[in-house]
Amino acid sequence: MNSASQPALGAWRRFTAAYATLLDWLLGLSVAILVLPVTLQIFARFTDLLPHYIWTEEMARLLFVWMIMIGSMLGVRESTHFIVDVFPSATGRFGAALNLFASVAVLVFAIVFAWYGVEFTRFGWNRTSELAELPLWMIHIAWPITGFTWIVFLGEHLSTQWRALTGSAA
């Protein structure tokens, strides 16, 4: 690898690290906010202290979908999602080849999520949910964002694994 690409690689890693930090905060925020509608549902269901709010179910569903998608984005970044260690002690070029193969398989799923996620979002663009009248694109857009984020994080993994496989300088 030539020295001209080293600063670009460093900038890419700083970008993905900053993006992962943002996702960490958003994940924590979505979990914290999810507590409110779920708590309201529980109290309304089992006590007469609160009226039965209908919007809480749809808000909880929206936050739960986003929580899962953000968690999967971080799982791909940290290589803790989708990967099954068949050869956990594999190291060197063989381990890099296995990791490269696994990353390419995840990349296929990422492309499917991105491609069909855009179609899914278009489908829900002008629609609203029945009960809370939330715009459905707010839920549907999680799929393409997840797919594109997986692609971003996989780019970092693939470059690292390719360098390990070919013996290039890190």
Share of the chain above pLDDT 70, in %: 88
Lowest mean pLDDT of 3-12, 18-27, 47-56, 150-159, name the range.
3-12
Domain residue spans in the chain? 5-166
DSSP class per residue in the chain: --TTHHHHHHHHHHHHHHHHHHHHHHHHHHHHHHHHHHHHHHHHHH-SSS---SHHHHHHHHHHHHHHHHHHHHHHHTT-SS---SSTT--HHHHHHHHHHHHHHHHHHHHHHHHHHHHHHHHHTT-B-TTT--BTHHHHTHHHHHHHHHHHHHHHHHHHHHHHHHT---
Instruction: Tell me which of 8 and 156 has the higher pLDDT.
Output: 156
Q: pLDDT tens digits, residue range 153-167? A: 998 888 888 887 787
pLDDT at 44 over 60: yes
Residue 102 pLDDT greater than 50, yes or no: yes
Q: Give the model confidence (pLDDT) of 134-144 as tens digits.
A: 888 999 999 99
Mean per-residue pLDDT of the chain:
85
Q: How confident is the model at residue 1 (pLDDT cuts 50, 70, 90)?
A: very low
Average pLDDT for 45-68? 82
pLDDT digits (tens, 9 = 90+) for 11-42: 888 999 999 999 999 999 999 999 998 888 88
pLDDT on residue 118: 95
